[in-house]
Structure 1
Amino acid sequence: MGAVTGIVGVSVAWTGALPAAAASGPTAAGKGCVEATAPYQKQVEKLLGLRADGSQSPEDCRAVQAFQRREGIRPANGYASRATLHMLTVATARRNPNAGGRCPVRKRQVACVDLTRQLMWVQRGRKVVYQAVPIRSGRAGLETRRGWHTVFRKKRHDISTLYDNSPMPHSQYFSRGQAIHGSLTNLFSGPGSAGCVNLRPGDAARLWKVLRVGDSVVVFGRKRR
């Protein structure tokens, strides 16, 4: 298996090896696989340790589909979608999300929001206390504010009064009206949020138990358009 490097739900730690289903043929994976080559084909192949030729093959499709099933990506059809690339980036980062040293290490607890890779984690010192999960940050013109912030308010059941009364479960505010919170919409679709850091509902619920008022949040990087 090649090194899983590069770019930038059900949470099963990515081990760096293809799941058994990907190697066992169409009886375990492959039903419903699509033959089309996706715009993210080469990046996905590289991150999965496949032959990175940018062209979909039956073997590629089975390997991608097996990963999608492990991570709860729908549809799990082997197509190298944007959601698949996003989750591969997250899975790759789980072993050591701060390998690049972008998030400052402090003795206290720090929530690290990486806009470039569209993921976040929480660390205390060098120990990761909340593993990397996917995020959706602010879109152009409504960017998530970078820099150091502090969690100043938590609200378990919140509603956005600015954006069609959208539910904001497990909201944790860190910069005026910007909060880290769960989203009931597809996290991998659209150009981005209105500035908040969106999480999948399950990830937001778990984060609620980790972060406290007064904890630091550092937002860094730049979202790719």
Structure 2
Amino acid sequence: MAGVRISRAAGALLGAAGMVVPLAVVTAAPAQAASCTTSTGPYQTRVERFLGRPVDGKQSAADCKATQKFQAQHGITPTIGYAGELTWRTMNTMLAQRAAGKTPNAAGKCPTNKGRIACVDLTRQLSWIQDGKKLTYGPVPVRTGRDGAETRTGLKKVYWRDIDHVSSLYNVSMPYSQFFDGGQAFHSVTKSMWNPPGSAGCVNMRVADAKAYWSLLRNGDDVFVYGRKPGT
């Protein structure tokens, strides 16, 4: 994402690499609560189980309200309590993140021969920092590129950092930006990490996690992005 405060050298690099513009970081005003649907969704049983509801595969008023609350919390629309594909996909991603525990690289997909490296698993929407085989931070949930604007995979390097970066296209703040592939960067946002459809390429992070990455990473550090985001 382009920024208004950028050095000539960094600007040239960004221009040469091509820009990917993340979504504007804007928190919308909460909408008036929608009416609950009485329809049973295709993922009803799994949604009920995730929410700790009685599992009978049939929509009830209480099921709907619990599902609707989850949808509203994470910006899933329409917010009508329907146990549809997007709602279940979001829940399933959360389950995969929980299962990662403190061994996110158990499968060895992120290189362990690079020293300090920031890993981004698009499939589980997780990121962490490791040094060799030692986990040094995370794993933490992230919000990556939406369908058609995916966060690009491969081995990268942090090449430019701007703690107070501002987008020149949307005039929005991108705090703790650390660019690693053209206009794609780690940076903080205030919305839910599970808010669909995703960014326009950047790796969105919660504020505390973006701050930690800022303190732990430096220019020249490796970043490895792999997997495929659900729904892309």
Tell me which residue corresponds to 1:17.
none
User: Amino acid of the residue matched to residue 144 of structure 2?
Assistant: S
CA deviations on 1:63-89 (whole Å, 9 max, x unpaired) are x9xxx9xxxx948xxx99555443332
Task: Find the aligned partners of 2:168 and 2:119 in 1 and give their Cα distance.
Answer: 27
Matched, 1:116 2:123: yes
Ranges in structure 1 where 5+ consecutive residues have no aligned partner:
1-35
* More contact order relative to length (CA 8 Å, sep ≥ 6): 2
Instruction: State the TM-score, normalizing by the size of structure 1.
Output: 0.65
Instruction: State the TM-score, normalizing by the size of structure 2.
Output: 0.63
Task: Find the aligned partners of 2:53 and 2:113 in 1 and give their Cα distance.
Answer: 37
User: Amino acid of the residue matched to residue 214 of structure 1?
Assistant: G
Greater helix proportion: 2
Task: Find the aligned partners of 1:184 and 1:151 in 2 and give their Cα distance.
Answer: 23
Q: How many residues align?
A: 180
Matched, 1:152 2:159: yes
CA deviations on 1:131-162 (whole Å, 9 max, x unpaired) are 11111111122111110100011111111222
| Percent of aligned pairs with the same amino acid | 47
Contact 1:150–1:214, Cα closer than 8 Å, also in 2: yes
Contact 1:112–1:218, Cα closer than 8 Å, also in 2: yes
Q: How does 1:1-16 map to 2 (within 5 A)?
A: none
Q: How does 1:115-194 map to 2 (within 5 A)?
A: 115-162=122-169, 164-194=170-200
* Cα separation, partners in 2 of 1:45 and 1:102, compared to 1, 3 Å: farther
User: Amino acid of the residue matched to residue 152 of structure 2?
Assistant: R
Contact 2:126–2:139, Cα closer than 8 Å, also in 1: yes
Contact 1:44–1:88, Cα closer than 8 Å, also in 2: no
User: Amino acid of the residue matched to residue 186 of structure 1?
Assistant: S
Ranges in structure 2 where 5+ consecutive residues have no aligned partner:
1-38, 75-80
Task: Find the aligned partners of 1:136 and 1:170 in 2 and give their Cα distance.
Answer: 15
Matched, 1:97 2:91: no
Higher alpha-carbon Rg? 2
* Cα separation, partners in 2 of 1:43 and 1:89, compared to 1, 3 Å: farther
Task: Find the aligned partners of 1:172 and 1:114 in 2 and give their Cα distance.
Answer: 17
Secondary structure in structure 2 of the residue aligned to 1:91: helix
Query: Which piece of structure 1 moves more, 189-198 or 37-46?
Result: 37-46
Matched, 1:198 2:200: no
Tell me which residue corresponds to 1:211.
217
CA RMSD of aligned residues (A): 3.5
CA deviations on 1:95-115 (whole Å, 9 max, x unpaired) are 210111111112511111011
Q: Shift of residue 190 of structure 1?
A: 2.1
